[in-house]
Chains A and B, each alone.
Chain A
Amino acid sequence: MKHKCPLRLSELPDWVHDAVTDLEDLPIFRLVSPNNLPPVDAKIANFPNNELIVNRHPDSGTIEAWTRGSPPTISPDHVQAFLVAAGHEDSRQYLLDSDLGPPGQALSERGFVSWRSQIEAGTPVIGPGGKVSIFRTTTSILVDITVRKRSGTLPSKWRALGTIYEPCLEEFNPWRDEIEIEALLGYFELSKYEPQFYLRPAFVFIFSVPGSAGDAVPWQTVRVEPATLSQEIFPREGLGQWHSTGGPYE
């Protein structure tokens, strides 16, 4: 779930309550350890003459691939092959992020394309991971399949919602008149540079101060709050280095 326009700080509590209304408790998923993943298929897509190099990133085990040269286009068949490979990593829905790139431009001609994933019941996967992306550089085409395989579930319960937003209200109160918040709720997946053992529901809040008032400086920061808790794992397990306000985790 994502809000439609920047929120004011005073609107955050209502947004958090609305976001979970009618949602049942979402499970936390165990993820396969990077050490237990099968080798990746080097022929993930039908590129001639070993022009595509494929491996698993050593930190996370997610798939990354790049071409030796810069092919003029990525064919629909190649794109399909990458999405199939993502599906083999973890069975999810992959949805084209249509906001990216000039309207009407063919996918094959775009500098960057990505597909965000959703898991059962249409819950989006948010964060730096959870997607397939293709980036055309000056010398190569880079493909990241930052999707981790799920191996089991842990039951979890929504946190007391006040413990999620009240620390934010306190921390950002000095900037309450100009701060803008972009808020998201979904399963939070880390980038390819971090190992991750649990995929869990989380709130992401991006706090921005445009700095338009007098000599105030513009700045921005991100907070990632676990949305549910399980007795079997620590409250911040699975969120890597992303900063939360620090609890209390109730």
Chain B
Amino acid sequence: MNKASEAYLQLIQRLVRKNQLSSGALEMIAQSSSPCDPYELASGVSRQELLAFSKTYKVLVRQGLVWRDIQDRLTAMIPEVLKQLELRNDAKIETAPLDALKTVGALWCGLFDHPGRFAHIRVPDLRFAYRGPSLFLSIIRQRGSQIAFLIADEDMSDACFPLPPKAGQEAALVYLCTHGKCPASGYEAYLNRGTWKPGKTRFNKELPIVMVLDTCNLIEGAHGWETGWANALRGGSVRLLLGFMGLTSIDPGSSLRGKAFAENLVSQKKMSYADAWIDAVRTQAVTENRHAIAIGVGDSPADAEEMLHLTLDGTSSIPRPKRLCPGPIFFAVKDLHETQVSTAS
């Protein structure tokens, strides 16, 4: 296969990934006797994108497409595309709108009462842990979201996890701010006394869907964290984790990210939760190396990536994401620069 043909197939794959080319359109292209412009059969493509890629297509035609080879490759792609569409449709069918989805809850811990010598040196208080969640709640409440629960300091104990039955069933998004660390045994969030490990918790089947873990070290490195989270999330409702790879600052200035996150969600920009979080962190960071991440969780790579597109409207007025099945779990990890997919069985 020549370079032009490879480039043509990449155009097709890009459209398929973005769900802009139906399986029917793909079959039409595969059965066409001569090369055709895939963008003429695509949907949901901006005018500017259309112009740019139609131009690219014409250049590729001039360079010479080996149509027979392309048809063979397209025919092989079709079953995979159909499978992805089926997964997306499954998710739509399995999920029905819930009245309570436009609700949020928050927990923060600024005061710690851990046992042992020098406890306040080992686990120092976080005077400004309240700022991120409360600034977030302040904005999001003004725009019509309801606050299902608030839990702070000495009330943030083992008894909070799993979330209290009523609270857990009502909040689509939970915002947690405290100390966090990620040793080899997996992520831990610090409570007033002791720590919470996600593996201890069985999440509900319906809610929450999004968890903001405004702590250090949601994950510590690029790999090795997947199994712990897979065990915690399998069979449950949580489909999107927002947090940090490595350390993050919790102080009055940095914590304005709570406000920025809420504004991004409710503004005309209609950003996804993932983009709204990553953008909020970078707009309040004093240097560029603050490593905000969003982790979409799903039963397939496509399903996990789909969660990175989830918006506030997507958890309030249209069908909610389906809960995770038993079996392998896939993670789509997005940061400011790229998205990578990993898995845990």
Contact = CB atoms under 8 A, between A and B. Distances in A.
Given A66-B269, A142-B279, A218 B247 contact: yes
Interface stretch (A18-26, A131-139, A154-162, A226-234): A131-139
Given A127-B286, A241-B253, A216 B48 contact: no
A69 interface: yes
Interface in A107-140: 110-112, 114, 126-128, 133, 135, 137-140
Given A112-B336, A138-B272, A99 B288 contact: yes
A73 to B, nearest CB: 7
A146 B53 CA distance: 32
B84 to A, nearest CB: 17
A138 B275 contact: yes
Interface string B274-304: 1100110011111110000000000000000
A147 to B, nearest CB: 14
A138 B309 contact: yes
B279 A217 contact: no
Secondary structure type dominating chain B contacts = loop
Nearest to A144: B283
B338 interface: yes
A137 B275 contact: yes
A72 B251 CA distance: 37
B179 interface: yes
B118 to A, nearest CB: 8
A97 B234 CA distance: 40
Tier of interface size on chain A = 35 or more
A194 interface: yes
Given A193-B260, A222-B251, A243-B252, A140 B271 contact: yes
Contacts of A192: 283
A214 B248 CA distance: 20
Interface in A66-86: 66, 68-73
Contact of B282 (A112, A138, A223): A112
Interface residues of B, number: 52
A182 B289 CA distance: 12
B156 to A, nearest CB: 15
Given A142-B269, A217-B122, A241-B252, A48 B48 contact: yes
Interface in B51-73: 52-53
Contact of A219 (B52, B247, B259, B272): B247
**Which one of A71, A127, A137, A217 has the greatest number of beta carbons of chain B within 10 Å?**
A217
B273 to A, nearest CB: 11
A193 B282 contact: no
A189 B121 CA distance: 32
A174 interface: yes
Contacts of A215: 116, 122
Given A71-B46, A221-B249, A243-B251, A128 B336 contact: no
Contacts, number: 148
A208 interface: yes
B259 to A, nearest CB: 6
Contacts of B128: 243
B123 interface: yes
A196 interface: no
Name the 10 nearest CB pairs between A and B, nearest first. A69-B46, A242-B253, A137-B275, A220-B247, A241-B252, A111-B337, A112-B336, A217-B179, A216-B122, A220-B249
Given A111-B338, A219-B247, A242-B251, 20 more contacts: A48-B48, A66-B269, A71-B52, A101-B337, A111-B336, A112-B336, A137-B272, A139-B270, A139-B272, A144-B283, A146-B283, A174-B118, A193-B263, A204-B286, A206-B286, A210-B247, A219-B179, A219-B216, A222-B254, A241-B253
Interface of B: 46-49, 52-53, 116, 118, 121-124, 126, 128, 179, 181, 190, 216-217, 247-254, 256, 259-260, 263, 268-272, 274-275, 278-279, 282-288, 308-309, 336-338
20 contacts: A47-B48, A69-B49, A71-B48, A72-B49, A112-B337, A135-B282, A137-B272, A144-B283, A191-B256, A193-B256, A206-B287, A211-B216, A217-B122, A217-B190, A218-B217, A220-B216, A221-B250, A240-B253, A242-B253, A243-B252
Interface of A: 47-49, 51, 53, 66, 68-73, 97, 99-102, 110-112, 114, 126-128, 133, 135, 137-140, 142, 144, 146, 174-175, 182, 184, 191-194, 204, 206, 208, 210-211, 214-224, 240-243
